[in-house]
Amino acid sequence: MDSYSVLYSSCHRTGLLSGFQRLRTEGKMCDVVLEAGGVSFPCHRALLASSSELAQRVILHDLCRPGSGQVPASGDGCGDMCERFIIDGLSVESCCCYANLAERHTLSNALEAANQTIAMEMGTLLQESKDKLLELNIQSLMSVLEFDEIPGVKELELIQLALDWLDENGPLPLLKSNLLLSRLRFGLVCSSDLANLRHRAMGTPLIRSQLTRAFGVPQDGSSSANQTEQAVNAQSVAHIACCSWAEGPAPIVQNSSCWRLIQEAGSSHP
Q: Is 227 inside any structural domain?
A: yes
Are residues 216 and 256 located together in one domain of the fold? yes
The pLDDT assigned to 222 comes to 44
| CB neighbour list of residue 155: distance below 8 Å, 6 or more residues apart | 184, 185, 186, 188, 189
Q: For residues 50-61, give the mean pLDDT.
A: 72
The pLDDT assigned to 71 comes to 54
Q: Is 138 inside any structural domain?
A: yes
The chain-wide mean pLDDT, for the chain, equals 76
Q: Is 46 inside any structural domain?
A: yes
- pTM to 2 decimal places: 0.64
Are residues 70 and 83 located together in one domain of the fold? no
The pLDDT assigned to 9 comes to 77
pLDDT tens digits, residue range 179-228?
Answer: 999 999 988 888 888 778 888 888 888 888 888 887 765 444 444 444 44
- From the number of C-beta atoms within 10 Å of its C-beta (0-12, 13-18, 19+), residue 14 rates as exposed
| CB neighbour list of residue 249: distance below 8 Å, 6 or more residues apart | 198, 243
Task: Identify the residue with better confidence: 168 or 69.
Answer: 168
Q: Is 129 inside any structural domain?
A: yes
Strands (E), the chain: 32-36, 39-43, 70-72
Residue-range definition of the domain harbouring residue 252: 186-270
pLDDT tens digits, residue range 116-131?
Answer: 999 999 999 999 999 9
Are residues 59 and 97 located together in one domain of the fold? no
How much of the chain exceeds pLDDT 90, in percent? 32
The CATH number that applies at residue 38 is 3.30.710.10
Q: Is 1 inside any structural domain?
A: no
Of 109, 131, 153, at which residue does a domain stop? 153
Q: Is 10 inside any structural domain?
A: no
Task: Identify the residue with better confidence: 229 or 121.
Answer: 121
Are residues 224 and 251 located together in one domain of the fold? yes
Of 37, 55, 74, at which residue does a domain stop? 74
pLDDT confidence of 72, banded at 50, 70, 90? low
Are residues 141 and 219 located together in one domain of the fold? no
Are residues 70 and 93 located together in one domain of the fold? no
Domain count, the chain: 3
The pLDDT assigned to 198 comes to 80
| b/e per residue 61-71 (b: at least 16 CB within 10 A) | eebbeeeeeeb
Are residues 129 and 63 located together in one domain of the fold? no
How much of the chain exceeds pLDDT 70, in percent? 70
> What is the rounded CA–CA span in Å between residue 43 and residue 25?
9
Q: Is 7 inside any structural domain?
A: no
Are residues 79 and 63 located together in one domain of the fold? no
Q: Is 143 inside any structural domain?
A: yes
